Amino acid sequence: MSRLRKLKNTLVQLHIGLCRPILPVLCLIAFSVVLQLAAQNAPAAPAQKPVFDDQAATKLLSQLTQGLENANQKKVLSVFDFSHMNDGQRFQQQLISFVAHAESIRLHLNLVRVNSDSGKGSAEADIEIEIEPRDGTLPVRKQARLSFSALSSAGGWKFVDVQPRGFFSNNSGQ
């Protein structure tokens, strides 16, 4: 019996000796599996809705100003999302005509108010503009408070409405 007992003790020691180095590795594997499962089952953080603030409004209005003053039609059009705008194609053509008929444009604006609500925004700005027509007629001066509506999309904020739209017409009225 003593031989059998010795053999049993030897096998137990051999088993403990083999398992001891593997145990930390098994614990790490089990821990990483638990972490992965917890991450999969954790509720996703709610997506933050973008906020239309003074900075976003100023960026769009600055792009519009630079586009108008530099006769850069592409830059002017880039601040608008005509697909989400009521009668957007007509307004797009109006802006193209407005820029094309001006020899030079000087614009001054003062941001008055900005609001944001659930991925939508609005801004009001007092704007003064002086247009020197290409046809050599007298310069046209206009001033008005314009209201802009903005919408957030994958490409950032874009204006989807501006009122009164007649401000960007080629006649001297608004």
Q: Does residue 69 sit in the same domain as residue 135?
A: yes
Give 13-53 pLDDT, tens digit per residue.
Answer: 645 555 556 555 544 454 454 446 555 665 555 556 788 99
Q: Does residue 109 sit in the same domain as residue 36?
A: no
Cα dist from 57 to 20, 113, 120, whole Å: 65, 9, 12
Q: Does residue 29 sit in the same domain as residue 64?
A: no
CATH number at residue 125: 3.10.450.50
Q: Does residue 34 sit in the same domain as residue 61?
A: no
- Residue 96 token pair: 């193209």
Domain that holds residue 115: 54-168
Instruction: Specify the number of domains making up the chain.
Output: 2
Q: Round the CA-based radius of gyration of the chain to a whole number and report it.
A: 34
| H/E stretch holding 78 | helix 73-78
pTM value is 0.70
For residue 148, which of 101, 93, 109, 102 has the smallest C-alpha distance?
109
Q: Does residue 102 sit in the same domain as residue 144?
A: yes
Residue 110, domain member (yes or no): yes
Please write down the HEC assignment for all residues of 90-131.
Answer: HHHHHHHHHHHCEEEEEEEEEEEEEEEECCEEEEEEEEEEEE
How far is it, in rounded angstroms, from Cα 82 to Cα 86?
Answer: 8
Give 116-133 pLDDT, tens digit per residue.
Answer: 988 899 999 999 999 999
Residue 95, domain member (yes or no): yes
Inform me whether the pLDDT recorded for 142 exceeds 80: yes
CB neighbourhood size of 131 (10 A) = 22
Q: Does residue 15 sit in the same domain as residue 70?
A: no
Inform me whether the pLDDT recorded for 136 exceeds 60: yes
Residue 85, domain member (yes or no): yes
